[in-house]
Every structure is written in C-alpha cells, then in structure tokens.
Amino acid sequence: MKLDKYTVTSGEKFKLKEHDPGDTGDYRSKAEAVRAMADNIERMKVLQDKLYAQNEYALLIIIQAMDAAGKDGLIEHVMSGVNPQGCQVVSFKQPTSEDLDHDYLWRIAKNLPERGRIGIFNRSHYEDVLVVRVHNLIEGSQMPDRLLDPSIWKQRFRQIRNFETYLFENGIIPIKLFLNVSKEEQRQRFLARIEDPAKNWKFSAGDVAERGHWNDYMDAFEDAIQHTATKEAPWHVIPADKKWYARLLASEIIVDTLENLHLEYPRLNEAELASLEECRTMLLNEKS
Ligand code: ATP
Ligand code: MG
C-alpha cells in the first residue's frame, strides 16, 4: 500500500486543502479493507510481542482530530489484536489544576510509554497549539504575561519538534495521526448521535459550539502540521470520512513503523544458554 501521499515529513509546503477526507485510495469496498486490516492486526500481534520481549523501543501513537472523527473507534479496532499488557491508552482532557500548575509537557512526559510498550495518546500536547490557540486560553493561564509574545505558537512548535526528536533519539518512536474528517461528515455523525438513543451519551452540546470554530481549527491544524512534521516524527494525514479506510490506513502505518525497527527476540548468551540446559536436565530428571 502506498503510504507516501498520507505522510508529511517536512511541512513547509503542506496544504490541508490538498487532502481529501473522502479518499479511499485503491479500496472500493469496506469488505476489502476489513480483510486487509485483519491481516495487519495479525502482523501487529507478532511485532508487538517482539517489541515487548526486546524491551528497548517504545511506540507512541498520537491521535488528533476534530470531534466525531472516529478516534475512539479507531483505537478499539486497530489495537484489537494486541496484548493489553503491552499497551496503554491515555486520554488528555481539559487540564486539571495540577496540570495547569506546570508546563504543558509535564502531563505528557508523565504518561509516556515504558520501553517495550505501545502508548496511545487520545489527544496530546497538540491541544496546546489547537484548542488553546483557537480560544486563546493562554491569556487566562498561569504563563507570565511578559512571556505571552505573539510568537508563542512558533515557540511551541519548536519546543514540540525538539521534544519529539528527543523521544525518537531515545528509542520512543512517535507516530502522529491526524484523522481528517470533513465538516459535512461531522454534521452527519452528530445527527446520528442525537437520533440514535444508544449514541446519545456521545453527544455534547458543546461539540456543536466547537464546530462553529471549524475554520480556525483547520488553520491551527495546518500551521501545526507545517511546523511539526519532521523525519523523526512525521504527521500522517488520514482521510477519515470512511471509518474503514481510516482504520486500515492507521493499521498499515503502525505495522510499517514497527517493521522498520527490525525488532528481534532477545538472544541468550552462552552462559544463559548453558543455564537453560541445566534447568532442562533438572526438570527431565525430576522424580514425581
Ligand atoms: P469524545 O469522543 O468522547 O467526545 P474527547 O476526546 O472529545 O472524546 P472530551 O472529554 O469530550 O473527550 O473532550 C476533551 C476536551 O478537552 C476536548 O474538547 C479538548 O479540546 C479538551 N482539551 C484537551 N487538552 C486540553 C488543553 N491542554 N487545554 C484545553 N482543553 C483541552
Ligand atoms: Mg468530545
């Protein structure tokens, strides 16, 4: 599968408008995509087992999107085959007062995955250049006034680039997924949440108000991707109007990234092999 057209490793020329939320690549039907996805889930299982056994690298999957773009469903489906012991999902909501008493990367650093694990961030430090920017929440924050320079967002992009490069260089590999849903598809999904009693709980009136800031969010996403897409921590812009395609693509990207790590089960040295042999002999000779 060609992933290049969805991957941004250098953002200068990135234009969100050039990415169609309804794109389904070479796939014409959901059934076809579901079959390919099942295959990826099997491969992911084997790769995760090696990641865990080797206990050196960690994978950090960062998911950002507008409301109802399908973050939760994507996490549920894409990770359905992995061992829960080696996987951890963290949802970043509105910061607590303790969070706000610290720098914005504090809660992020505290929740990074351990080596050998897959960490999934449902929202992330990007909220601090998205919702915080769109609503200018930084004004009422505890940031010292004299540091609230108009270049604050550029500064944060630089901080985020450096932070993610630091993670990569320490074996914590970032995968950043932007689920690119269209405004019309979001409208349909909100309506479905209102009309279907089983989905009512997912709906909040605030989500409709947020939708009123759609263009500001798109500008903020575009700017963030332009400034934080790097070779070490690329952005993947995933068409999200068809959930089955978004999920397939995400699984493909995760498998591809894991394969590029060339993971191997740890090999025992001679002394360890000899000790294994000794244990085997003892077990074989045990009297019942
Ligand atoms: P759901 O699909 O269930 O609605 P969600 O991710 O939207 O999931 P919510 O509890 O509805 O979860 O929303 C979390 C809210 O917290 C979002 O509106 C998000 O923008 C906001 N948020 C996250 N991080 C920050 C932050 N640093 N500053 C301000 N708001 C934040
Ligand atoms: Mg929400």
Arithmetic mean of pLDDT, 107-122: 98
Q: Dihedrals φ, ψ of 252, to 5°? A: -65, -45
Residue 180: strand, helix, or coil: strand
How many angstroms separate the alpha carbon of residue 90 from the centre of ligand 2? 15
Cα–ligand 2 centroid distance for 205 (angstroms): 10
Question: CA-based diameter of the chain, in Å?
Answer: 78
Q: What is the pLDDT of residues 225-258, one digit of tens each?
A: 999 999 999 999 999 999 999 999 999 999 999 9
For residue 237, the cross-strand partners are: 178
- Token representation of residue 170: 């320490």
Task: Give the pLDDT confidence score for residue 249 in this predicted structure.
Answer: 98
The DSSP secondary structure of 51-91, one letter per residue, reads HHHHTS-EEEEEEEESTTSSHHHHHHHHTTTS-GGGEEEEE
Q: Whose CA is nearest to atom 22 of ligand 1?
A: 94
Task: Pick from 66, 97, 123 the residue to mutate for probing ligand 1's pocket: most ligand atoms within 8 Å of its CB.
Answer: 123
**Sheet with 87-91, side-by-side order of all strands:** 7-8, 235-239, 172-180, 58-65, 118-122, 87-91
pLDDT given for residue 43 in this prediction: 97
- Tens of pLDDT along 157-188? 999 999 999 999 999 999 999 999 999 999 99
Position 1 scores a pLDDT of 82
**pLDDT band at 145; cut points 50, 70, 90:** very high
Ligand showing the shortest atom-to-Cα distance for residue 99: 1
From the alpha carbon of 131, which atom of ligand 1 is closest?
20
pLDDT of res. 158: 98
With a 6 A CB cut-off, is 66 part of the ligand 1 pocket?
no
**E strands of the chain, at which residues?**
7-8, 58-65, 87-91, 118-122, 172-180, 235-239
The confidence score (pLDDT) of residue 287 equals: 87
Question: 127 is written with which tokens?
Answer: 């909220």
**Residue 283 confidence (pLDDT):** 97
Return the pLDDT at 31: 97
Report, as an integer, the average pLDDT of 116-120: 98
Q: Which protein residue has the closest C-alpha to ligand 1 atom 20?
A: 131
Alpha-carbon gap, residue 21 to 10, rounded angstroms: 21
pLDDT at 25: 96
| Ligand 1 atom nearest to 104, measured from its CA | 27
Residue 288: which pLDDT band, with cuts at 50, 70 and 90?
Answer: confident
User: What's the whole-number average pLDDT of the chain?
Assistant: 97
**Assigned token pair, 37:** 């996805």
Mutational pocket test of ligand 1: of 74, 75, 91, 93, the residue with most ligand atoms within 8 Å of the beta carbon: 93
Inter-CA distances, 130 with 15, 60, 64, Å: 17, 20, 10
CA of 91 to the centre of ligand 1 (A): 8
Please tell me the pTM assigned to this model: 0.95
Is the pLDDT confidence value at 132 over 80? yes
Confidence band for 209, pLDDT divided at 50, 70 and 90: very high
Q: Which domains does the chain have, with CATH numbers?
A: 4-285 (3.40.50.300)
User: 217 CA to middle of ligand 1, Å?
Assistant: 14
CA nearest 160: which of 111, 103, 75?
A: 103
Q: Quick one: pLDDT at residue 63? A: 98
Q: Is 92 in the pocket of ligand 1 (CB under 6 A)?
A: yes
Pocket flag, ligand 1, residue 269 (CB < 6 Å): no
Q: Is the CB of 203 under 6 A from ligand 1?
A: no
203: CA distance to ligand 2 center in Å?
8
Cα(93) to ligand 1 centroid in Å equals: 4
> Distance (Å, rounded) from C-alpha 129 to C-alpha 221?
8
Q: Is the CB of 189 under 6 A from ligand 1?
A: no
| pLDDT score recorded for residue 241 | 98
What is the number of other CB atoms lying within 10 angstroms of the CB of residue 85?
Answer: 10
Instruction: Identify the pLDDT of residue 2.
Output: 86
In the predicted model, is pLDDT for residue 61 greater than 80?
yes
Distance, in Å, from the CA atom of 33 to the CA atom of 156, rounded to the nearest integer, reads 37
